[in-house]
Amino acid sequence: MAEAGGAAAAAAPAPDIDPDFEPQSRPRSCTWPLPRPELPAAPGGSRRNAWGNQSYAELISQAIESAPEKRLTLAQIYEWMVRSVPYFKDKGDSNSSAGWKNSIRHNLSLHSKFIKVHNEATGKSSWWMLNPEGGKSGKAPRRRAASMDNSSKLAKVRGKASKKKPPLQSAPESTADSPGSQFPKWPGSPSNASTISARLSPILTEQDDLHDEELLPSLVYSSASSNVPPTVTEELELIDGLNLMSPSSSVLSTQQSASSGQIQRDSSFSLRSPNAAGQTTTFGNSLFNPVDISLQSSVSHFSAPQTLEALLTPSSPPPRDVMMTQVDPVLPQTGNRMSSRTLLLLGGQATQSKMSSGNPRGKPTEQQAESVGASVLPSTLPIVTSPQNTASISSLKAPVSATTAQSVQLGSPLLLSSASPAPLGLNQDRLPTDLDIDMYMENLECDMDYIINSELMDGEGLDFNFEPILSTPSYPSTSQASNHTWVPS
């Protein structure tokens, strides 16, 4: 009550927000799915909360949505609140801010609508993203709920033996770490300095309960991210890509990683499944057991360790036959479903690739280009000019329609043989010792595949497009927020 109460109470005296309001035009364009009509937002003034009609959950959603990458850390969410919502504006950082932050946190972890993607960077907290499905309270998981053991959603069976907590308490206290920077300047590319795999994933592999079903991560967004990169970002991305991706693929890998990589690279999501009663599962990117994978997608997963090894082995020539064999794969069509999003994604990639190849770094002026590319849309796709692109496209395409590793491995040898521009000479340095990566890749692939198949198919949760307000919620009063929020421009 210390703050919140005070704040709330104090809020009363601080009417600065009220006048603002914002009936505005805003015909409909819902900011976010919002199944429920919400309050009529009567101009008369029926605000549920001091800040308006939206619930915390909704606000958070907006915040996340507004982020270029659709993911934010807690702190960033806070920030967004402060900047975007007049009500919180005053109470932003430091001092008076407790109650609402608590609530934010509470909401984040409570609703299945939000998923946590852990981010091991600079000790930053996890990313929070929107769960494509939008769990929302006891709502049934849309269609693809493989296992609807509906029966008892009320029976929140929680195997946990509570937590006997005697009033006892010790003072663990430690580390006075000081991250400082309350001001993340939003690199856009969230510093994933994790570099080579955050091996050591927390994955608990709870084989006991195989209730995975809807745990499936299906993140599709990302991609668009590109619009950020001044220099540093780019570098980061490149580096990142290089590290994570197979060393041999150089350029191609870069591209891929740039987009697809980003999606999961951050790795490890934890989703809460409604039924599971708050069970949280975390997937580590670097290594999680095959079991999960197989479960996730029945995609043909040949995955021959040896083969992979061979592939990676510098001395041994890449067994093309193998790849050939695998190439054939199946699902020729699946891809047709691709929504504009996918295309967009691809387009983005293409663009990016072009840029990066043409100019590795230190390029002013690209931001616009980027955005353009992104918006250009599907038609852009086919447009390819340089060999690299071709290669890239094929590779890109792979994950979409084709299957597995193909793209990945394919990327390296094929590309190299066909058109490697070799802008970067650092391939063979770390060839060996990459098994992890492979695994990782595979995972990636699977996910991608799955994602594409599942998500794009229905595109349920993703269609929300709120045009007008991107970074700004809806509050007009947000003077500065509109401009330089986190969106680069």
Partner DNA sequence: CCCTCTAAACAGG
Partner DNA sequence: CCTGTTTAGAGGG
Residue ranges in contact with DNA by CB under 7 A: 1-5, 8, 46, 48-50, 54-57, 73-75, 78, 98-103, 105-110, 116, 123, 125-126, 128, 136-138, 158, 162-163, 165, 167, 169, 172-174, 177, 270, 278, 280
Q: Please give the Cα distance from 438 to 285 (Å, whole number).
A: 11
Between residues 347 and 475, which has the closer beta carbon with respect to DNA? 475
**Amino acid sitting at position 7:** A
CB of 129 to DNA, least distance (A): 11
Shortest Å distance, C-beta 295 to DNA? 21
Radius of gyration from C-alpha coordinates of the chain:
23
Note the Cα 235 to chain centre separation in Å: 20
Q: How far is the CB of 8 from DNA (least distance, A)?
A: 5
CB of 92 to DNA, least distance (A): 12
Tell me the closest approach of the beta carbon of residue 288 to DNA, in angstroms: 17
Residue 287 or 299 with smaller CB distance to DNA: 287
Q: Which is nearer to DNA, 32 or 78 (CB)?
A: 78
Nearest CA among 76, 143, 403, 129 for reference residue 264: 129
DSSP string, 158-195: --S-TT---S--------------S-----SS---TT-
Whose Cβ is closer to DNA: residue 110's or residue 193's? 110
The CA-atom distances, in angstroms, between 211 and each of 136, 277, 442 are 19, 11, 22
If the CB atoms of residues 279 and 409 are measured against DNA, the closer one turns out to be 279
Strand order in the sheet with 269-272: 71-73, 127-130, 114-117, 269-272, 280-282
User: Judged by CB, which is closer to DNA: 57, or 444?
Assistant: 57
Structure tokens at 304: 């021959």
Closer Cβ to DNA, 93 or 149, answer by number: 93
CB of 103 to DNA, least distance (A): 4
Task: Quickly count: other Cβ atoms within 10 Å of residue 305's Cβ.
Answer: 10
Q: Are strands 280-282 and 127-130 parallel, antiparallel or unpaired?
A: unpaired
- Dist CA 363 CA 90 (whole Å): 38
Q: Is the dihedral of CA 91, 92, 98, 102 positive or negative?
A: positive
- Give the whole-angstrom CA distance, residue 302 versus residue 369: 40
Shortest gap between Cβ of 423 and DNA (angstroms)? 37
Cβ–Cβ < 8 Å for 100, 88: yes
Q: Which residues have C-beta within 8 Å of that of residue 244, sequence separation ≥ 6?
A: 196, 197, 257, 261, 265, 437, 440
Provide, rounded to whole angstroms, the least separation between the CB of residue 40 and DNA. Answer: 11
